[in-house]
Amino acid sequence: MIRWFLYMHDSMKSTFYMVNGMVFTLSFFLVRNCLQTFMVVKCLIPAMIWRMPLMESDDKLEITVSLATFFIYLILCFMNVFWFYKLVVLLIRTFVVKKEGSEDAYSKESN
């Protein structure tokens, strides 16, 4: 929200804009990439392994829900890595623009 506000008021060359972008990228990496991957590896996978002997019953719904949960979290982990890549590219473009003084990084974005 703050970054959008600064962008709309043409304050993209300010130091606060750069610091805000770096803090957002760092917090995204720590919370979305590191923490979520940790939760999947340290909590979800061991819980599924522990419950596998219990799932040998005829309860297909429980197996389906467990596997669906695992694959959804796996897909989210890959999406977070992709989004982090996009954030880093945008942050690099913003730093290059700040050095060159040309148009903003958002107009160069093709997506």
Measured in whole angstroms, how far is the alpha carbon of residue 13 from the centre of its chain?
A: 25
Q: Is residue 87 classed exposed, middle or buried when 0-12, 13-18 and 19+ CB atoms within 10 A define those classes? A: middle
Q: How many CB atoms lie within 10 A of CB 85?
A: 10
What's the confidence (pLDDT) of residue 82?
Answer: 96
Average pLDDT over residues 68-86: 92
What's the confidence (pLDDT) of residue 95?
Answer: 78
pTM recorded for the entire structure: 0.68
Task: State the residue for tokens 């309860």.
Answer: 59
End-to-end CA distance of the chain: 20
Tens digits of residue pLDDT in 6-23: 888 888 778 888 888 889
Tens digits of residue pLDDT in 34-74: 998 888 888 888 877 777 666 666 677 877 888 888 899 88
